Chain A
Amino acid sequence: MKAPFQTRYLILTLVCLVFGVAIVIQMIRINYSPSAKDLIAKSEDYQGVAEVIYPSRGNIHDRSGHILATNKIAYEVGIDLKYVADPESIAFTAASLLDMDYADAFALASTAKQETDENRYFVLASYIDEDIILELDRLKESYYQRRLDEGTLTPSLSGLVWTPMQQRVYPENELAANILGFFNYFSRESAQGVYGVEETYNRLLTGKPESVYMANDPYLVEALPDIEPGASLVLTIDREIQAMLEDTLADAIDWSGAEGGTIIVIDPETGELLGMAATPTFDPNNYWDYEESFPGITPYNRAIGYAYEPGSVFKVITMAAALDSGVVDPSTTYTDSSGVFWVDGAWPIYNWDGGAWGEQDMTGCMQHSLNVCLAHIAVDLLGEDLFYQYVQAFGFGRSTGIDLAGEANYPLRLPDDNQWVVLDLATNSFGQGIAVTPIQMISAVAAIANDGKMMAPHIVRSIVDGGQQYDITPQIIGNPISAEAAQTLTTMLAIALEEEASEALVDGYQLAGKTGTGEIPTELGYTSTLTNTSFVGWGPTDDPKFVVYVWLEKPTISKWGSVVAAPVFRDVVEQLVVLMKIPPDEIRLQMAEN
């Protein structure tokens, strides 16, 4: 006897079984179907996306903490094809607000209709200001309201999306641009610092980007790793001094008709650069204008990237060598009877004015900038071995190693070289036939101002990384001359300036310094009437706090350093002593006594 409902139970069981088997078969079929890979890929897309998180780039501060480089928020605007409903409205908006070509934007926004499997996100524009984003947001909202009111599907900006991103910004605009360099942020993947501090410290400033998986599925979401921002830098420059130098340089170029120039101020005790102005310059916020501002092979920072024949400022080095080696002392005399010094009996060396200056002591030689006297010291007293030994000890012929990208170096022509002749020794003694960069020149002279101790010139004072500040310790890189020789030379140059009643003198402050007028070689020799004019000086002489180097290239109002560069030096020092809070000597010495 059959149990009641047995057949019905059997049928129901069979139906369930068949249904279950069908589900399993369908699952297997889907898994092995040709579209399986696409389906899996799509599902993974919806689960989340792998992204690289870029830490915010470190700030750059001046020595007082003022921000010279930081980051602001800009936006990337793109099309997410998944959600595009109205390509025409998107294209019209992109054309009107993002300055895009309507046809290009429309083609991108329409891609979904033709190639659904293609990339589903297109970047329309990067680094868009917040004002435009607010306008886009307002427009999107108003279209939404309109659709609700009219019960239509268009207009719609659905699919037009924007994401915030950090953009490098230089709040002081052109100030210190030659020192800072710039960050070419437009292509995020290949962005890097170019020139200056941005290039030298690029890795530190950048920090460490990390790849993370950004899950949409809430079950897979994990807290993002704590990504440290890039290290921040505190520079040695003072923005007040930097601004003053840049203004003074611009005025000097305007006044003198010079093609370009540079002014550097350095602290001789530490090698810290307090300011460095150079031409040309530009606004690194618009770094894409770089080639317009620096055409051809124009160096980005003339103060470190351009070698030239310095002229008479180099006599300071020759005299330092002579004093330190003991071949002369301040009272040693030289009689310039004819205004000419014959090298090997074949090559004549003349004074700057072609005249003869009679008997001069060493201070007189420096005061009147006598080429024949310095050539005599180099050729007859020092000799090539000793002379070049000192020149190299002062750092010429090699890079200073300053922490700024783009430093140039011109090798010295030494007696071992085939092309060297004894005439080189004579001309090198007064700064001709030798190429130096302004940073080499000021570093060498700073050693004299610092009792013979040569400090490594540097631009970064501290690095702030991982919540800790690392201060850079000043480095002594050499001791080319003794303290006694350095002090003697400082006194000689101070006397020389005062007796010359130089344009470089500043009331109340005793300064030491030397002018320079360098002839410019051409392919045919020294045929150009244009010159490089310069002045290097330091003070206060009893306790030097600054060394200032002024170089103006090819001025047209005069070819002499004493006329062109010396007054600029005075202008700089007059402002510098105020900014550095250095009282006049009399007051300072009185205060020291109390």
Chain B
Amino acid sequence: MKNRLLQAYKQAPWRVQMQWIGLFLLALVILAALAGLYLSINSKAATAGRSIQFLESNIEAINNNIAELTTDLAEAKSIERMKTRARELGFTLINPQSAVYLQVPGYVPEDEMVLAPPRVNIINETPIIQSAYKDSLWDWLAKNIWLIPGSSSEEGGVQ
């Protein structure tokens, strides 16, 4: 009788084997998925890293090019070269007695040299301490979990 009961509860050996194989395959699939994810993220990170290196090198090359062109321009516009060009074009230095002065209505003399916008005092309206550092756990839950989408977090409130 006892034997018969045991016999009734025992699974067939092929079923046990199938379960083990199933579990093993499941673990294998999970591992493969994790490995795949790991490889994917790593390859993306490596690609991003290479892109950063490439872009940094591009930035350096562009900056170098700008410096080179600035120097070339400055040399091309140097006073000696400008004088030479002026002489070649037939210009000569004027003497004050031969100068003719005309009053030109509406003429605005050269403005001050401006290489960049003037200094302005920027009043930063962003609060110095972010709300994340002041909120209680309850506030945070209220804003991030129960808040109705579309309403401002600063207006807050549980709805």
A461 to B118, CA, bound (A): 13
Out of B46, B96, B115, B118, name the residue touching A219 (CB < 8 Å): B46
Contact yes or no, A67 B74, CB < 8 A: yes
Contact yes or no, B74 A171, CB < 8 A: yes
Out of B63, B77, B120, name the residue touching A56 (CB < 8 Å): B63
- Supposing A73-B64, A243-B79 touch, asked if A218 and B46 sit within 8 A by C-beta, the answer is yes
Interface centre among A63, A462, A506 (most CB of B within 10 A): A462
| Cβ of B75 to closest chain A Cβ, rounded Å | 5
A61 partner residues in chain B, CB cutoff 8 A: 113, 115
| Cβ of A236 to closest chain B Cβ, rounded Å | 10
Out of A469, A509, A583, name the residue touching B116 (CB < 8 Å): A469
A72 partner residues in chain B, CB cutoff 8 A: 67-68, 71
Interface positions, chain B 76-134, Cβ under 8 Å from A, are: 77-80, 93-97, 99, 101, 103, 110, 112-120
Interface residues on B, range: 35 or more
Contact yes or no, A164 B70, CB < 8 A: no
Contact yes or no, A73 B67, CB < 8 A: yes
A130 to B99, CA, bound (A): 46
B68 partner residues in chain A, CB cutoff 8 A: 72-73, 130
Give how many A-B residue pairs fall within 8 Å (CB-CB): 120
A175 partner residues in chain B, CB cutoff 8 A: 78-79
Contact yes or no, A578 B96, CB < 8 A: yes
A461 partner residues in chain B, CB cutoff 8 A: 113
B78 partner residues in chain A, CB cutoff 8 A: 171-173, 175
| Cβ of A578 to closest chain B Cβ, rounded Å | 6
Contact yes or no, A223 B52, CB < 8 A: yes
Q: Is A399 an interface residue (CB 8 A)?
A: no
- Supposing A164-B64, A467-B116, A468-B118 touch, asked if A169 and B71 sit within 8 A by C-beta, the answer is yes
A104 to B4, CA, bound (A): 97
Q: Is A356 an interface residue (CB 8 A)?
A: no
| Cβ of B61 to closest chain A Cβ, rounded Å | 8
| Cβ of A519 to closest chain B Cβ, rounded Å | 35
Contact yes or no, A71 B71, CB < 8 A: yes
A578 to B96, CA, bound (A): 6
A70 to B68, CA, bound (A): 10
Contact yes or no, A468 B71, CB < 8 A: no
Contact yes or no, A468 B116, CB < 8 A: yes
Q: Is A152 an interface residue (CB 8 A)?
A: no
Per-position 1/0 for A442-470, Cβ under 8 A of B: 00000000000000000001101001111
A583 to B96, CA, bound (A): 8
Interface positions, chain A 571-594, Cβ under 8 Å from B, are: 574-575, 577-578, 583-584, 587, 591, 594
Q: Is A239 an interface residue (CB 8 A)?
A: yes
Interface positions, chain A 57-88, Cβ under 8 Å from B, are: 59, 61, 63-67, 70-73
- Supposing A171-B78, A243-B79 touch, asked if A471 and B50 sit within 8 A by C-beta, the answer is no
| Cβ of B50 to closest chain A Cβ, rounded Å | 5
A577 to B97, CA, bound (A): 10
Interface of B is mostly: helix
A239 to B81, CA, bound (A): 13
A462 partner residues in chain B, CB cutoff 8 A: 113, 115
Contact yes or no, A71 B49, CB < 8 A: no
B135 partner residues in chain A, CB cutoff 8 A: none
| Cβ of B158 to closest chain A Cβ, rounded Å | 41
Out of A65, A169, A243, A574, name the residue touching B113 (CB < 8 Å): A65
Contact yes or no, A574 B115, CB < 8 A: no
A106 to B120, CA, bound (A): 58
Contact yes or no, B74 A220, CB < 8 A: no
A172 to B96, CA, bound (A): 27
Contact yes or no, B96 A574, CB < 8 A: yes
Question: Could you name 20 residue pairs across A and B whose Cβ atoms are closer than 8 Å?
Answer: A67-B73, A67-B74, A71-B67, A71-B70, A171-B74, A171-B75, A219-B46, A219-B49, A221-B49, A221-B53, A222-B52, A223-B55, A240-B79, A243-B79, A468-B116, A468-B119, A469-B116, A574-B96, A578-B95, A591-B103
Contact yes or no, A469 B74, CB < 8 A: no
A281 partner residues in chain B, CB cutoff 8 A: none
| Cβ of A270 to closest chain B Cβ, rounded Å | 12
Contact yes or no, A224 B113, CB < 8 A: no
Interface centre among A70, A215, A577 (most CB of B within 10 A): A70
Contact yes or no, A66 B67, CB < 8 A: no
| Cβ of A315 to closest chain B Cβ, rounded Å | 29
